[in-house]
C-alpha cells in the first residue's frame, strides 16, 4: 500500500497535524496567564505558532514517508535501512528546530514585540518534546505498513494454497478415470470371447459411465442423486462379471439426494468393496449403500461382505484418493473410516453439508 498516493492517508495526516497544532496552542495558552490586549496578542501568536509547527511537521513527515515508501521495505529490510531511517528522523528534527525558531521570531516580533532568544540548553530540552510527536507519527505509519504487509502475505498464501489444492485435485481427478477404466476394461476383455452380446451391453453401460466421468469429474461437487445414477451403471457392469455372486442394495435418505458431494467418490467406495471384498469370496456376498442426513452432516456408508485385510500387492490408490480429496475439500470437517464389523467391512464418509 502506497500511502503517498492514498488520499485517505493525506486527509488523516492533515487533520492529525492540525490536532497537533491545536494541542500546542492549548498547552501554551494554559501555561500562560495575563489579560487585556496583551492576552489577545498572545493568542494570535500562539495560533500562528501552532499553525507553523503543524505545517512544518506536515512537510517533514512527507520527507520521512517518501523515504519509507521508496527505500524501506517492511518485509525485507537490513540494519543499514534501519540506521538510515533513524538518521533521517534525527535529521528532520535538526531541520525542524533549525527552521522553527527563526520562523517563530516573525510572529513573536509582530504580535508581542519580542525576539525569541533561547539558550542551547533550552533548545535541546525542546527536542524530546517535538521528537515524541514524530515518533508517534512514525509508529502509526509503520504499523499501517506492517498490517498491510501481513494482510498481503496472508492473501498470497491463501492464493498459493488454493492453487495448490486445485492442482492436487486435478491430479487426483486424473487418477480416477484410468483407475476405473482399467478395472472395467478388464471385465470386458474377459467376456469378449465368452459372450459377445453381453460384452456389447457392457460396453454400452461403460460408455454411459465414462461419459459421466468425463463430464462430471471436472467439477468439485455434484448432487448425490447424479452420483447414484452413475453407481447403478457401474454395478450393472460389475453384475455381468460377478453374476449371482453380487447382491446390491441401497438405503437412501431422500433428504440426501440434493446434497453436494465430490464426483465419483461413492463409485470408488463401491469399486473398492467389490475388488477387495466380494471378489475374494467364492460364494459372493452383499454390498449395501446407505446415506443419512443428520446434524448438518451427510453420512455415506458402503458395507460389503468379507474381512478387512491389507494386501501387500495393493496400492490402495482408491482409498488414498478418497482421503486426500476429502482433506483438500473439507479439511478436518470430513472423515473417512474403514472398519470390520461382524464379518463385514464398513466404509463410512462423513462430510459437512455445503
Mean pLDDT by 10 residues, the chain (354 residues): 74 77 62 52 74 76 81 76 82 76 74 67 67 78 82 78 62 56 75 80 80 73 90 84 87 95 88 86 91 93 87 65 84 91 92 88
**CA distances for 342 relative to 274, 289, 345, angstroms:** 18, 17, 8
pLDDT at 257: 95
**Contact present, 228 and 252 (Cβ < 8 Å):** yes
Angle between helices 7-31 and 120-192 (to 10 degrees): 150
pLDDT at 116: 66
pLDDT at 122: 62
**Phi, psi (degrees; rounded to nearest 5) at 135:** -65, -45
What are 168's three cell numbers? 492436487
Average pLDDT, the chain: 78
What architecture is the 163-352 domain classified under in CATH?
A: 2-Layer Sandwich (3.30)
DSSP letter at 305 equals E
Question: Domain-by-domain residue ranges, the chain?
Answer: 3-117, 163-352
Can you tell me which residue has the cell 474403514?
Answer: 338
What are 25's three cell numbers? 496552542
**Contact present, 334 and 349 (Cβ < 8 Å):** yes
**Contact present, 330 and 351 (Cβ < 8 Å):** yes
What are 128's three cell numbers? 524530546
Percent of the chain with pLDDT over 90: 16
Helices (H), the chain: 7-31, 36-71, 79-112, 120-192, 196-216, 224-242, 265-276, 317-330
What angle (nearest 5°) sits at the alpha carbon of residue 93, between those of residues 92 and 97? 115
pTM greater than 0.85 (yes/no): no
- pLDDT one-digit tens code per residue, 270-308: 988 988 888 888 888 999 999 999 888 999 999 999 888
Contacts of 214 by beta carbon, 8 Å cutoff, 6+ apart? 177
Neighbours of 3 (CB within 10 A): 18
Can you tell me which residue has the cell 481427478?
Answer: 173
- pLDDT one-digit tens code per residue, 24-53: 666 655 554 444 445 677 777 777 777 777
pLDDT at 17: 75
Amino acid at each position: 500500500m502506497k500511502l503517498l498516493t492514498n488520499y485517505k492517508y493525506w486527509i488523516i495526516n492533515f487533520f492529525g497535524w492540525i490536532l497537533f497544532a491545536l494541542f500546542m496552542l492549548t498547552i501554551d495558552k494554559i501555561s500562560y496567564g495575563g489579560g487585556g490586549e496583551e492576552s489577545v496578542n498572545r493568542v494570535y501568536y500562539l495560533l500562528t505558532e501552532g499553525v507553523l509547527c503543524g505545517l512544518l511537521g506536515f512537510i517533514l513527515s512527507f520527507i520521512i514517508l517518501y523515504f519509507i515508501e521508496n527505500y524501506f521495505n517492511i518485509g525485507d529490510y537490513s540494519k543499514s535501512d534501519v540506521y538510515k531511517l533513524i538518521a533521517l528522523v534525527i535529521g528532520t528534527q535538526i531541520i525542524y528546530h533549525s527552521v522553527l525558531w527563526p520562523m517563530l521570531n516573525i510572529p513573536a516580533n509582530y504580535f508581542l514585540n519580542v525576539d525569541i532568544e533561547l539558550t542551547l540548553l533550552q533548545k535541546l530540552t525542546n527536542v524530546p518534546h517535538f521528537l515524541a510527536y514524530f515518533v508517534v507519527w512514525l509508529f502509526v505509519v509503520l504499523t499501517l505498513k506492517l498490517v498491510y504487509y501481513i494482510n498481503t502475505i496472508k492473501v498470497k498464501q491463501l492464493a498459493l494454497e488454493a492453487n495448490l489444492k486445485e492442482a492436487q485435485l486435478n491430479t487426483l481427478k486424473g487418477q480416477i478415470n484410468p483407475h476405473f477404466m482399467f478395472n472395467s476394461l478388464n471385465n470386458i476383455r474377459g467376456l469378449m470371447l465368452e459372450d459377445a452380446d453381453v460384452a456389447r451391453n457392457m460396453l454400452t453401460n461403460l460408455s454411459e459411465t465414462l461419459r459421466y466421468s468425463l463430464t462430471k469429474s471436472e467439477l468439485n461437487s455434484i448432487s448425490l442423486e447424479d452420483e447414484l445414477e452413475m453407481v447403478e451403471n457401474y454395478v450393472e457392469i460389475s453384475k455381468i462379471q460377478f453374476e449371482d455372486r453380487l447382491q446390491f442394495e441401497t438405503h437412501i435418505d431422500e433428504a440426501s439426494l440434493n446434497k453436494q458431494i465430490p464426483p465419483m467418490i461413492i463409485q470408488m467406495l463401491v469399486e473398492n468393496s467389490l475388488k477387495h471384498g466380494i471378489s475374494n469370496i467364492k460364494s459372493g456376498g452383499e454390498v449395501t449403500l446407505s446415506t443419512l442426513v443428520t446434524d448438518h452432516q451427510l453420512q455415506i456408508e458402503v458395507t460389503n461382505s468379507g474381512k478387512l485385510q491389507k494386501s501387500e500387492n495393493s496400492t490402495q490408490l482408491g482409498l488414498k484418493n478418497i482421503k486426500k480429496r476429502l482433506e483438500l475439500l473439507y479439511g478436518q470437517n470430513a472423515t473417512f473410516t474403514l472398519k470390520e464389523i461382524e464379518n463385514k467391512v464398513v466404509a463410512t464418509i462423513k462430510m459437512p453439508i455445503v
